[in-house]
Structure 1
Amino acid sequence: MSNAVSRRGFLGASAVVAGGFVFLGVETPANAAEGPAQFPSSVSLYREVYQNWDGVVVTDALWTCAPANAADVVTVVNWAHQQGYTVRARGYRHTWSPLTVAPGTPADSKVILLDTTKHLTSMQISGTRKVRVQTGASMEDLLAYLSDQGYSVAATPAPGGITVGGALAINGHGTALPALGENRQAGQSFGTVSNLVLSLTAVVWDESQQRYVERTFDRSNSEAKAFLTHLGRALITEVTLQVMNDYNIRCLNYTDINSGELFAAPEAMTDRSLSKLLDAHGRVGLIWYAFTDRPWVQVWQPTPNKPLLSRLTLTPYNYLFADNLPSPVPQLLGNLIEGQDWVAPAFGNAILAATDAGLTALGARDMWGKSKNFLNWVKPTTLRVTAGAHVVITSRSNIQRVVHDFTTFYSAKLAEYQGRGEYPVNSALEIRITGVDTPSQVDVVGAEAPALSAARPVEGHPEWDVAVWLDLVTLPDTPHSNEFYSELENYFSRLPANQGLARPEWAKRFAHTAAGAWTDTAAMQGEIPASFPEWDWAVATLNKYDPHRLFSNPLINQLLS
C-alpha cells in the first residue's frame, strides 16, 4: 500500500469513527540533559509531533516549549540564535499551508516549536473599544471575553479553535459586508482580522544590543504594515485590536435556492441571487457541495430584537449535524477513502440531504442570539478536508459577474473531469464575501493597509472595495485534485482586468502543478509577488528585524526570499 493511500485510510478512519482527527501530538517531557544544549531550564520543554488540520503536514516528534510569559519567549529566541535553531510559533495547527513547519521534518532538525496556547492567552480591555490580547489566545475565547464586556467584531474566521496570532499571520477573515444603507459602526472593520490591529508587539533583532528584544509598533508606524500579515516570518507576542459594540444576529439558513438562480448572470438576477442577498443582508456565506444543484446559503443579519419565530441560541457551533453525519454519509466517505472516487456525486447529494434534515431537526433554519454565537460555527471535530483558495478583489457591482463566471468555469471543468471518469472534488466550493483592508476603517491616524494581506486594496482602483473568497475543499490525496487546482489557478491568472485582481489565500493550498501545492515556482517567484505592490519592501522590512532568519522555514524561504 502506498504512503498516500495509507494516509488517506488514516484520515478517513478517524473522520468516520471520531468525526475528526486525534492529533498525534502526545507530549513527552524532557529534562535538561535530554534536551537541546543549554536550553533555558525555566521554560517547559517536551517533544511533540506536529500535525496540521488536514493531516498532510506531519512531522517527527519535535522539540516544543511552552513559555510562561513574553520574557520567556525572548529568552528562547535568543537561545535559538546562539544555538543555530529556528523558532516556529505553534497555535492550534488549524492550517493547510506548511507555514509553520515542513512535512516530514525530522526529530533531529534544529527547529524549536513555541506553543503559545498554554500561557500566552491573557486579554484585557484597554480603553473604549480596544482590547489588548496575547497571541496564543483562541478566537473563540476572545469573542466570549469581548461579549462579556459588551463588545464584538464584524467577522472572524468560522473556526474558533485558532489563535489570534495565527489569524493575523495569514489575514484570517469571515463574511462581512454592510447591507445597502447600513452605516458603519464605531470600531467596525469589514476587512480581515489584520485590519483590526491598532498596535502590535514583536520580537525583533536589536542591532545595538546584538540580541532579540520585544518592540511595540503602533499602527501609525509605517513599518507596522509589514507585520500585520507576516505569513510566519515574524513572531508577535501581543496585539491591541479595535472592537465594536456587541450586537445580536439573526441567522437564516436556506437550501432551496437553485445554483442557477443564485449564481445567475448579472442580467438574469432575481431577488435570491447572490448580489441581491448581499444588498439585503450584507453577510452571506455559501457552501456548494460538489455535484449538487442547491447550495447551503447562510445569512447573518444584525437584528437587535429576537424575531417571534427565531430560535434563541446561547452558545456558538449550532450545526451539530456537521459533526454527526447520518447514514449513508459515513459509508460513502469510507468508499472515497478506499479509492472509489466515482461515489463523489452520491456523497455530495448525501451531505446535502443531511444538511437539509439537520437544519430542520435542530431548528437551525432561523436562529437569533449574540454575535459570538454565530461568528464561530466550525468545530475542530468537523470533517477534515484539504483546501485551496483564491480571493478576487473587485467592486461591489462586479460581485455577481465574478461569481457567475467562476462557478460556470468550475462546473464545466468538473463535468469535463467526470466525463473522463475522474472526480477530483468530493467536498464543496465555499464562498465568503468581505470588504478590503482599507485604512479608513482603522481608528488610528496614519494607518496603512497590511502590506501582505490578500485583501489589501488595489492601487489605482478605489472602486474595488470587496473581496470575494473562493475556497475549494476536497479530501486529502484525492486523485487528480492537484491538476484540478492548477487549472483553477490558471483561471485566476487569466482573470479579465475589468473584473478585479486575484491573490492566493495564505492559509490554504496554492501554486499548484500536477506535483502538488507550492510547486509552481514561476507563480511563487513571479505572479504572486507581483500582485502585491509593496512585496519587496515588506520582505526587506521583515528581514531587517530578523536578519538571522530565525522566524522562517523552507516554504517561507522560497516565497519570501
Structure 2
Amino acid sequence: MEKVFTSTLLYCTLVFILFHNAPSNCLEYTPPSEKSENSSNATTIELHEGIEFAFEPYKTWGQGIELDSLLLVAYPKSSEEVVELVNWARKNGRNVRPRGFKHSFPPLTVTKDTDPSKVVLVDMVRHITNLEMTTIPAEDTVTNETLRAVKAETGASWQDLMTFLETNNAGLVHSIIIGDATIGGVLAIGAHGAAVPAKGEFLKPGFSFGSLSNLIAAFKAVVWDPETKTYVLKSFSRSDPDSRVFLAHVGRAFLTEVTLIVGENYSLRCKSIVDIPAEELFADPDKNPNATRTFASFLDETGRADVQWYQFTKNPWLKVWSVEPSKPSSCVEVNGPYNYQFPVNINEPTKTVPELGEIAYENVLKGLASKNASDVWGASKNIMLYSNGSSQPIVYGGVVVLTSREKIQKVLSTVVNFYKSLNDEYAAKSEYPIDYYIKFRVTGIDNANDTLIKDAVNTVLSPLSPPKEYPDFNVAFWMNTFTHRNNKLGNQFMKRFEEFYYDTFNGEPGLARPEWSKSWAYTDEGPFTNTNMLEKIIPARFGSDWEWAVSVLNKYDPERVFSNSFLDNSLHL
C-alpha cells in the first residue's frame, strides 16, 4: 500500500492504492472528518497493478444529503475491477454503492447516518464510460429484422449518450431533461421524459413511450454465484424472466453495461406558450367540455408537452414539442442543448415570500424574449435536453399516476383543483409552503412489446411497470412540486398532497406511485420518513410483483452488499 497526504488549513485527504492481492485488512484507516470546498480535488495516484482509491466528501446535487465524514471512493477501470472490488468489500464488511453525479434526492446511494467504515463508493464516471453502436440480431426479434442498439457502460453521462447517438444518426423518442446523470442512475429509477403518441402517430422501431428502462435489451450485472460463493459478472437478456427486477432496481443491484434499443434520429420543434390561463389549460372536462386549449388537446396534437405553473401567476409556461423534419420559417435553429439559459432559478430567499414565483415567472418571460427562445428547432437531443442542472437548494416532490389516455385531462384538473385549494388555505394564513412552481408531464407506461424482442419481459419496480389489475391504463401523469429547502412548511404541504394523491388515485381513475428520483413518503419532518407509506402503501402499489422482486434481488445479492440502511430498514427492498 502506498499513502499520499495532501493538506490545507481546513482539511486532510488520504489517498491510497489497494493492490489486487492486498490483504483484507489493509484499508483499516480512519479518514479525517474535516472537509473543505477543495476536498473533491484530492490528488490520487495509480500503480499498474492497483485500483485507485481516495477519501472524499459526499454531497448530493439537491443538497439534501451531506455527510460530515469523508467516504472511501474507488475508481475501477473496468467491469472486472468492479467485481474484484465488490468481493473485497464483502470480505471486509462494506456495502458497495455506485457513485455518479449524485443528481437525485432519495437516500438510495448513501444515507445521512452512513458509517464511513462500512461503505465504499464506486466512481463510475471516470473510467466506466464506453459507448458503441451495435445491433439486436434478427433471430432475436419478433419482426425477424435487426434492430439498432447502443452498448453503453453505465458510468457514461446521459448527455454523452445522447451526443453519441446523434453522431450515429440515432435517437430516443423522449429523454430526461438534464445531461449530468449517469446511464446507470437514470435506468435504476425508471426515469422518463415527456411523450405519448399524438393522434394518428405509431411507435417506430427502437422507440418506447414508457420509461427509459424499458429500452433495455440486455445488460451485465454483478451478482452472487452460489457455486463459487463469490460475486461475478453475469450477462442477462430481456427475455430472461429474472431480468425484470434489474431493469429499474431502485439501487438494489449493480449494472456495469447495458444494451439499449434506439431509433432513427429526427428533428424537434419546441414552442413556448405563455398566453393560456391556468383555468383553460387545466379545465375540468366535465365542467368545461368546450375548452379548446387544454393540456390534453396539445397531447392529441403533438404527443409531447410539459408545463410549469409558477406560484401566484395566471398563465403557466407550456412547452410543446412536435416532430418537424424541416425547420419551420418562424423557428430559430439551435445547434446545442440547454437553450433556456436564463435565470429561471433564483437564489434562496432569507424568508419565504409569495412574490417568489412571480419573480421567477417574469425571468422566464424576459429570458424567452431576450434569448429568442420562444420557438426553437433542432436535432432531438438539442431540444429534449433543456436544463443544465445547476445546483439549487430546492426540494422536488414527485408522484406519478397511471391512468388511461382519455382520463388525462380529468386527472390533471382534479390534481390542480386540490393543489389550488390547499395553497389558498395556507395563503389565507400568510403561509406559502410551495414558493416556486408545480410541473406536469405525461408519458406512456412500460410495455415489453415496444422492444420488439422475442419473449421480452416487463419491468416490475419501474414507476411505469404495468399494473396487472388495470390493463386499460396506458399513460402516466407525472407531477413535481418545487420549493426551497429552508421552507419547512413544504414538508407539511407535501404530506397532505401525497395523502390526497394516494387516497384519490387508488385504482380508479388512476393508480398513484412514487417517482423514485424525487422526494416522497413525507411527514412534517421531511421526505422518506413516513413509515406507513414506506412499508405498506408504496409496496402495495406494485402488487405481488413487489414481494417477487425482493426475493429475486435477495437471490442475486444475498449478502445485501448492494444496499444501505434506508433500503434495508425503511423501504425493505
Same fold (TM over 0.5): yes
Q: What code does the residue aligned with 1:170 have?
A: I
Residues in 2 aligned to 1:197 and 1:78: alpha-carbon distance in whole angstroms: 26
Residues in 2 aligned to 1:383 and 1:188: alpha-carbon distance in whole angstroms: 33
Q: Is the contact between residue 250 and residue 300 of structure 1 (CA under 8 Å) also seen in structure 2?
A: yes
Identity within the alignment, %:
36
Change in 2 beyond 3 A, CA 1:455/1:32: closer
Match of 1:109 in 2: 117
Match of 1:141 in 2: 160
Deviation at 1:443, TM superposition (A): 2.0
Deviation at 1:368, TM superposition (A): 0.5
Change in 2 beyond 3 A, CA 1:92/1:382: closer
Residues in 2 aligned to 1:310 and 1:465: alpha-carbon distance in whole angstroms: 33
Deviation at 1:417, TM superposition (A): 1.0
Q: What code does the residue aligned with 2:25 have?
A: A
1:50 aligns with 2:58: yes
Residues in 2 aligned to 1:485 and 1:418: alpha-carbon distance in whole angstroms: 15
Give CA deviations for 1:97-126 in whole Å, capped at 9, x if unaligned: 1100002535x4310000000000001111
Match of 1:320 in 2: 341
Give CA deviations for 1:55-94 in whole Å, capped at 9, x if unaligned: 0101121000110111110010000011111000011000
Q: What code does the residue aligned with 2:237 have?
A: D
TM-score, length basis structure 1: 0.90
Match of 2:234 in 1: 215
Equivalent position to 1:388, from 367, 376, 397? 397
RMSD between superposed Cα atoms in Å: 2.0
Give CA deviations for 1:165-212 in whole Å, capped at 9, x if unaligned: 000110010101111111211111001111000011100000001100
Partner SS, residue 284 of structure 1: strand
Match of 1:439 in 2: 448
Task: Map 1:183-194; keep pairs closer than 5 Å.
Answer: 183-194=202-213
Q: Is the contact between residue 389 and residue 469 of structure 1 (CA under 8 Å) also seen in structure 2?
A: yes
Match of 2:311 in 1: 290
Residues in 2 aligned to 1:515 and 1:297: alpha-carbon distance in whole angstroms: 33
Match of 2:97 in 1: 88
Q: Is the contact between residue 168 and residue 193 of structure 1 (CA under 8 Å) also seen in structure 2?
A: yes
Partner SS, residue 366 of structure 2: helix
Match of 1:273 in 2: 294
1:398 aligns with 2:400: no
Equivalent position to 1:525, from 522, 535, 538? 535
Residues in 2 aligned to 1:431 and 1:181: alpha-carbon distance in whole angstroms: 23
Match of 1:499 in 2: 509
Q: What code does the residue aligned with 2:519 have?
A: R
Q: What code does the residue aligned with 1:111 have?
A: V
Deviation at 1:378, TM superposition (A): 1.0
Structure with the bigger RCO (C-alpha within 8 Å, sep 6+) is 1
- Higher helix proportion, which one? 1
Match of 1:164 in 2: 183
Match of 1:304 in 2: 325
Q: Is the contact between residue 62 and residue 392 of structure 2 (CA under 8 Å) also seen in structure 1?
A: no
Equivalent position to 1:126, from 120, 134, 137? 134
Q: Is the contact between residue 25 and residue 49 of structure 1 (CA under 8 Å) also seen in structure 2?
A: no
Residues in 2 aligned to 1:290 and 1:265: alpha-carbon distance in whole angstroms: 20
TM-score, length basis structure 2: 0.89
Q: What code does the residue aligned with 1:432 have?
A: R
Residues in 2 aligned to 1:369 and 1:316: alpha-carbon distance in whole angstroms: 9
Q: Is the contact between residue 198 and residue 443 of structure 1 (CA under 8 Å) also seen in structure 2?
A: no
Task: Map 1:201-240; keep pairs closer than 5 Å.
Answer: 201-240=220-259
Match of 2:558 in 1: 547
* Contiguous gaps of at least 5 residues in structure 1: 1-23
How many residue pairs end up in the alignment? 525
Give CA deviations for 1:188-237 in whole Å, capped at 9, x if unaligned: 10011110000111000000011000001100001000001111100000
Residues in 2 aligned to 1:276 and 1:208: alpha-carbon distance in whole angstroms: 57
Q: What code does the residue aligned with 1:470 have?
A: M
Deviation at 1:254, TM superposition (A): 1.1
Partner SS, residue 112 of structure 1: strand
Residues in 2 aligned to 1:278 and 1:322: alpha-carbon distance in whole angstroms: 28
Partner SS, residue 504 of structure 2: coil
Partner SS, residue 58 of structure 1: coil
Change in 2 beyond 3 A, CA 1:500/1:149: same
Residues in 1 aligned to 2:267 and 2:391: alpha-carbon distance in whole angstroms: 26
Give CA deviations for 1:415-456 in whole Å, capped at 9, x if unaligned: 111112221111111111000001121221111221101111
Deviation at 1:384, TM superposition (A): 4.3
Match of 2:76 in 1: 67
Partner SS, residue 151 of structure 2: strand
Partner SS, residue 223 of structure 2: strand
Partner SS, residue 144 of structure 1: helix
Deviation at 1:32, TM superposition (A): 5.2
Give CA deviations for 1:385-426 in whole Å, capped at 9, x if unaligned: 211111000011000000001011001101111112221111
Deviation at 1:457, TM superposition (A): 1.3
Residues in 1 aligned to 2:414 and 2:503: alpha-carbon distance in whole angstroms: 12
Match of 1:242 in 2: 261
Give CA deviations for 1:113-141 in whole Å, capped at 9, x if unaligned: 00000000001111241110000011100
Deviation at 1:28, TM superposition (A): 5.3
Deviation at 1:48, TM superposition (A): 1.2
Match of 1:12 in 2: none
Q: Is the contact between residue 310 and residue 368 of structure 1 (CA under 8 Å) also seen in structure 2?
A: yes
Residues in 2 aligned to 1:319 and 1:417: alpha-carbon distance in whole angstroms: 32
Partner SS, residue 445 of structure 1: coil
Q: Is the contact between residue 25 and residue 51 of structure 1 (CA under 8 Å) also seen in structure 2?
A: no
Residues in 1 aligned to 2:180 and 2:12: alpha-carbon distance in whole angstroms: 18
Q: Is the contact between residue 176 and residue 284 of structure 1 (CA under 8 Å) also seen in structure 2?
A: yes
Q: Is the contact between residue 24 and residue 88 of structure 2 (CA under 8 Å) also seen in structure 1?
A: no
Q: Is the contact between residue 254 and residue 298 of structure 1 (CA under 8 Å) also seen in structure 2?
A: yes
Match of 1:197 in 2: 216
Change in 2 beyond 3 A, CA 1:321/1:25: farther
Partner SS, residue 57 of structure 2: strand
Task: Map 1:452-467; keep pairs closer than 5 Å.
Answer: 452-467=461-476
Q: Is the contact between residue 17 and residue 50 of structure 2 (CA under 8 Å) also seen in structure 1?
A: no
Q: What code does the residue aligned with 1:229 have?
A: A
Range 375-384 or range 288-297, more displaced: 375-384
Partner SS, residue 461 of structure 2: coil
